[in-house]
Chains A and B, each alone.
Chain A
């Protein structure tokens, strides 16, 4: 499944955002943004330079995120004494890890990566 057309992807994101806002109001939009920021984006960055297929790198992060993001945030919340702060710190930490991995790892050979 090739989904590498940026205009199409932006259009899709807009449809989801407008839907969330129209049906659930600001809470709906915020919920979608939180899902994207906490559960998808960090793990997408971490998987980006692996030799997974491109669509797998978009599809799988959420399922890793709902397990690992909250696990890290749970334990960080004890020293930080706040779930909210620990979630933000977890987000920053994971983004840094993702960016570092992106910087140092070579681009994977994409020739076998499409169906």
Chain B
């Protein structure tokens, strides 16, 4: 077997292992997982597949929460349709409502492993590519955001390196006087798709292209480093694709125009001297998300710095692209200092895909900094690779696998079996117009999941102004969480409320600590 084949086999095994570990939360438990907004991604795909219809205007049970999220056209999809339609196709064609959805999500959220490998292998060879792929596969923040459920953003970020790569291929061929316009066309197509998947990734890609262009222009001492005539058609293609979904693209433009930073750090120039300072107000994000040590491992910092020094000294074309990429990310992550860029903390989740290759490049650069002769050089290289993998195993792989195995272990962190079953019962046994009041379920995330699995409107957990005055048709008394928590007080309150309102009524559903009553209107 040729060495290239062995390399491909190695990266395939790494990726399959990644998928195996990442799908742990759904392999052992069919109940959907994800925090509050994760359920919105599920429900858009789920409605599309279960009704076999595309969505323009939101169905009622989605409208009450997300009806105002599209600021350009109320009551329409707030995201461009492709991402969720892809998921819906998986559900429809596999006849699986949850498993295929989550397999595809896991594939999309971990694709950076293959993307990183493909690009870094071409630029720096196998070992930097393979080692950095290990890091991105088990980067804490990648795993955490996936578990939380900000899924479209993940794949959208991963488009940035692909777009950078396409620009690189265009640039080097153009520089050799062998212009290949196909790369510019594909760049336009993928940049547009980047926007369709999630605007955050699109802005990262644009920032990266701008900074890389600037670096190349400075290096070549000329303003135009691409063929301007070639740009015309790609720009048209880009505009056509983003105009295909006018409501959603309008929403992006409108949101971008009116979105000052919400981090409260405008004018805080001390922010410029750290990659990201933990904000005073975490805004619902777990503290661990802001910890470099927990999310990346402190051990990679010297390697990243070595990598940056190595690239800055060498300055080959691909080095300029790597440096431009990390500088652009630094600018995006610090845009809040000048009052721009809402939710810049979300951009942190794009850091690891730059850090990882830089760390791997830095590791192997050590060899080039030390003058060694041939056999010793090879031994030293493999010794460093083994140390790198060992450190990755201790500080990245094992903690991430542990996070994947335990994050949704508790029955309070995702729907328990009785809650899952009552949600499905509601779909089959109530009218589409049913309005449910849920009492006792312990968290907003759980109530939202129950709302979207049942495809029924749960009153009081959505946008207040839209829900006002809507009469309930059903009441759920959910004791399943309070029993687990052992919360006697809430339990007694629920019992008293139930006896007061439904003392002489027969529940329509009565199973495993959950009762549902229909209200006679």
Residues of A bordering B, CB below 8 Å = 1-3, 5, 8, 12, 15-16, 19, 23-24, 27-28, 30-31, 34-35, 38-39, 50-52, 55-56, 59-60, 63-64, 66-71, 73-75, 77-78, 81-84, 87, 112, 115
Contacts and interface: CB of A to CB of B under 8 A. Distances in A.
Interface centre among B23, B82, B192, B196 (most CB of A within 10 A): B82
B29 interface: no
Nearest to A60: B186
Nearest to B245: A71
B92 A31 contact: no
B388 to A, nearest CB: 22
B82 A83 contact: no
Contacts of A71: 81-82, 196, 241, 244-245
Contact of A67 (B23, B121, B183, B196): B196
Given A66-B155, A71-B196, A74-B82, A23 B54 contact: no
Given A77-B54, A83-B53, A84-B52, A70 B180 contact: no
Interface of B: 1, 4-5, 8-9, 12, 16, 19-20, 23, 27, 48-49, 52-54, 81-83, 85-86, 88-90, 92-94, 96, 99-100, 103-104, 107-108, 114, 118, 121-122, 155, 159, 162, 169, 178, 180, 182-183, 186, 189-190, 192-193, 196-197, 241, 244-245
Nearest to A25: B99
8 contacts: A3-B8, A5-B5, A28-B103, A55-B118, A67-B190, A68-B241, A74-B54, A81-B53
A83 B100 contact: no
Contacts of B92: 83-84, 87
A23 B16 CA distance: 10
Contact of B12 (A16, A23, A34, A51): A16
A51 B180 contact: yes
Contacts of B121: 1
Contacts of B104: 31, 35
- Which applies to chain A's interface (DSSP): helix, strand, loop or mixed? helix
Contacts of B193: 63-64, 66-68
Given A15-B12, A63-B159, A31 B90 contact: yes
B81 A30 contact: no
B192 A67 contact: yes
B122 A1 contact: yes
Contact of A30 (B8, B27, B94, B108): B94
Of A71, A75, A77, which is in contact with the most chain B CB atoms at under 10 Å from its CB? A71
Given A67-B192, A70-B81, A24 B27 contact: yes
Contact of B49 (A2, A59, A83): A83
A19 B16 contact: yes
B54 A83 contact: yes
B20 A52 contact: no
B512 to A, nearest CB: 27
B89 A30 contact: no
Given A30-B93, A31-B90, A74-B82, A83 B48 contact: yes
For the complex of A and B, the 3 pairs showing the least CB-CB separation, nearest first, are A67-B193, A70-B82, A70-B85
Nearest to A67: B193
B94 A31 contact: yes
A42 B113 CA distance: 23
Given A31-B104, A70-B85, A1 B4 contact: yes
A84 B89 CA distance: 7
Nearest to B101: A31
B93 A34 contact: yes
Nearest to A8: B5
Given A83-B52, A83-B92, A50 B182 contact: yes
A20 to B, nearest CB: 8
Contacts of A27: 94, 96, 99-100, 103
B318 to A, nearest CB: 12
A54 to B, nearest CB: 12
A63 B92 CA distance: 21
A3 B118 CA distance: 13
Contacts of B8: 1, 3, 8, 12
B82 A87 contact: no
Given A19-B16, A60-B186, A67-B190, 4 more contacts: A23-B27, A31-B90, A74-B81, A83-B92
Contacts of A67: 82, 189-190, 192-193, 196-197, 241
Given A1-B4, A34-B90, A70-B89, A51 B52 contact: no
Contacts of B180: 51
Contacts of B48: 83
Contacts of B178: 112
B53 A77 contact: yes
A34 B107 contact: no
A27 to B, nearest CB: 4
Contacts of B192: 67
Contacts of A60: 162, 186, 190
